[in-house]
């Protein structure tokens, strides 16, 4: 029986993880579940999965959950605050930690799981983008096992040579082909993108995801973050990673070998596949997925990305090439801009402007410790918020 902790249990990935875990009650038990403030959903999950611990980052939400848990006679212990995320990430009872908090908020808890030598299922790509070198060093030093959950990286991982472990440079690999659905605005003119609303940006044609990653998929920043993520996971430079738009989202990514072989992983677009793969690796378990109907899919199309319409993609690839603090500054500025867009204070096309301008004002510097990473992150957020505020004034 394996113990599983889910950081970000109430989100899209968290819910899919519980769905897979719930199909195998003899093999997995839930040790801890965490959320920021969604009491109702976390309570429902506690009732169903009876974890030993539940964490709510916000104190008031934790108090409310504690009361509800007591009323219902559950044994789950409720902890409060961001520090508690790190505690439950390192519990000896859990073998496996799903890192599915969104954004930089997931960094310290994900690292705590790494430092506790867990099998870490990495959905929270932002933590790797922010601290790649330090993160991968910690994976090696503490003997953690890193399994990529992002569907593309999970696909690449599955196409790697036998016995491959994330972080090593794979033998005989020429390049990685990272597929990209193109997002909800594929083919939209710049004018139309200019007035795009949060609901339009979150209406992804293939994947149902949290709102932040949905906006990232619309700007293609998500793919840019994923190029950075792939560089760290597979120890390859950005020059050896190509982005391929594939609107059907059936081929989840491809690995090209020196002899010309190209291996791909295919499947229905459902995150329960990579989640089940990560949980059970190298075994395979049921994940509740319908068989892939290739006759129904009929066509697999591939096209180059529209870099001109998606400046965020180029900015993120440039940041990967620059290195140092550039990727983490990019990530921080993007989080600020996406938040402003989602609360309808910034227009869609201004997200790239905020990111680009922040990168200019925060030139790349060394980020040799987590404290430095957090310093750069805070500074970039302040700068980005200032730029976003100016852009808002001009547009109002």
- Give the β-pairing of 173-180 and 241-245: parallel
Q: Which residue, 209 or 384, is less far from ligand NAD as judged by CB?
A: 209
- Tell me the window of 64-72, 147-155, 227-235, 384-392 that interacts with Mg ion (CB under 5 A): 147-155
Q: Contact letters (x/-) for ligand NAD, 269-288, by CB under 6 A?
A: --x-----------------
The whole-angstrom separation of Cα 389 and Cα 373 is 24
Exactly one of 3, 4, 5, 14 binds ligand NAD (CB under 6 A); which one? 14
Distance CA 226, CA 229 (A): 5
Q: Which of 27, 9, 13, 7 is nearest to 97 (CA)?
A: 7
67: Cβ–Cβ under 8 A, 6 or more apart, which residues?
A: none
Residue with the two structure tokens 């696909």 = 155
* 349 touches ligand NAD (CB under 6 A): no
- Could you say which DSSP state residue 303 is in? B
The residue count for binding ligand NAD (CB under 6 A) is 26
- Name the residue whose CB lies closest to ligand NAD: 11
Using CB under 6 A as the binding rule, whether residue 230 contacts ligand NAD is answered as: no
12 binds ligand NAD (CB under 6 A): yes
Joined together, the tokens standing for residue 243 give 């982005």
CA-wise closest residue to 238 among 250, 226, 227, 223: 227
Smallest CA-to-CA distance from 261 within 197, 203, 174, 326 is with 174
| # binding residues, Mg ion (CB under 5 A) | 3
In this structure, what token pair is assigned to residue 363? 């030139």
Query: Contact between 9 and ligand NAD (CB under 6 A)?
Result: yes
Q: Which of 126, 145, 150, 270 binds Mg ion (CB under 5 A)?
A: 150
Q: Based on the shown chain and the rule CB under 6 A, indicate whether residue 207 belongs to the binding site for ligand NAD.
A: yes
Is 335 one of the binding residues for Mg ion (CB under 5 A)? no
Residue 325: name the closest of 213, 197, 228, 203 by CA.
Answer: 228
**Of the candidate residues 11, 238, 278, 327, the single one contacting ligand NAD (CB under 6 A):** 11
Among 39, 89, 91, 123, binds ligand NAD (CB under 6 A): 123
Residue 322: CB minimum distance to ligand NAD, A: 22
Is 126 one of the binding residues for Mg ion (CB under 5 A)?
Answer: no
Does residue 122 contact residue 149 with C-beta atoms inside 8 Å?
Answer: yes
- Nearer Cβ to ligand NAD, position 48 or 239? 48
Query: Strand 53-56 and strand 77-80: pairing?
Result: parallel
Residue 101, binding choice from Mg ion, ligand NAD, none, Cβ under 5 to 8 Å by partner class: ligand NAD
Q: For residue 47, give both structure tokens.
A: 């009732």
Q: Binding residues for ligand NAD, per CB under 6 A?
A: 8-14, 35-36, 38, 57, 100-102, 105, 123-126, 150, 207, 209-210, 212-213, 271
Site residues (vs Mg ion, CB under 5 A): 150-152
């Amino acid at each position: 029986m394996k113990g599983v902790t889910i950081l970000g249990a109430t989100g899209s990935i968290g819910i899919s993880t519980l769905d897979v875990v719930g199909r195998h009650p003899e093999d997995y038990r839930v040790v801890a579940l965490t959320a920021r403030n969604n009491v109702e959903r976390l309570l429902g999950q506690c009732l169903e999965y009876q974890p030993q611990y539940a964490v709510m980052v916000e104190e008031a939400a934790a108090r409310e959950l504690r009361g509800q848990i007591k009323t219902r006679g559950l044994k789950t212990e409720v902890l409060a605050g961001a520090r508690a995320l790190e505690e439950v990430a390192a519990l000896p009872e859990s073998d496996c930690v799903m890192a599915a908090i969104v954004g930089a908020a997931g960094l310290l808890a994900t690292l705590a799981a790494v430092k506790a030598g867990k099998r870490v299922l990495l959905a929270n790509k932002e933590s790797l983008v922010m601290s790649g070198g330090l993160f991968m060093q910690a994976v090696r030093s503490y003997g953690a096992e890193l399994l990529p959950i992002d569907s593309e990286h999970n696909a690449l991982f599955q196409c790697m040579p036998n016995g491959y472990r994330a972080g090593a440079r794979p033998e005989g690999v020429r390049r990685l082909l990272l597929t990209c659905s193109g997002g909800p605005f594929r083919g939209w003119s710049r004018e139309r993108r200019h007035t795009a609303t949060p609901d339009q940006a979150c209406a992804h044609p293939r994947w149902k995801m949290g709102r932040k990653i949905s906006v990232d998929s619309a700007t293609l920043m998500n793919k840019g973050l994923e190029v950075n993520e792939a560089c760290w996971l597979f120890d390859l430079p950005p020059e050896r990673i190509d982005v391929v738009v594939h609107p059907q989202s059936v081929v989840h990514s491809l690995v090209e070998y020196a002899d010309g072989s190209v291996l791909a992983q295919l499947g229905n677009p459902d995150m329960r596949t990579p989640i089940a793969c990560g949980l059970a690796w190298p075994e395979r378990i049921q994940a509740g997925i319908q068989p892939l109907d290739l006759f129904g899919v009929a066509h697999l199309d591939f096209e180059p990305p529209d870099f001109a319409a998606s400046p965020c993609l180029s900015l993120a690839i440039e940041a990967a090439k620059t290195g140092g603090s550039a990727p983490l500054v990019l990530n921080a500025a993007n989080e600020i801009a996406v938040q402003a867009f989602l609360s309808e204070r910034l227009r869609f096309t201004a997200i790239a402007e905020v990111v680009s301008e922040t990168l200019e004002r925060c030139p790349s510097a060394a980020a040799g410790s987590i404290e430095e990473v957090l310093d750069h992150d805070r500074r970039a957020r302040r700068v980005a918020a200032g730029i976003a505020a100016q852009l808002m004034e001009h547009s109002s």
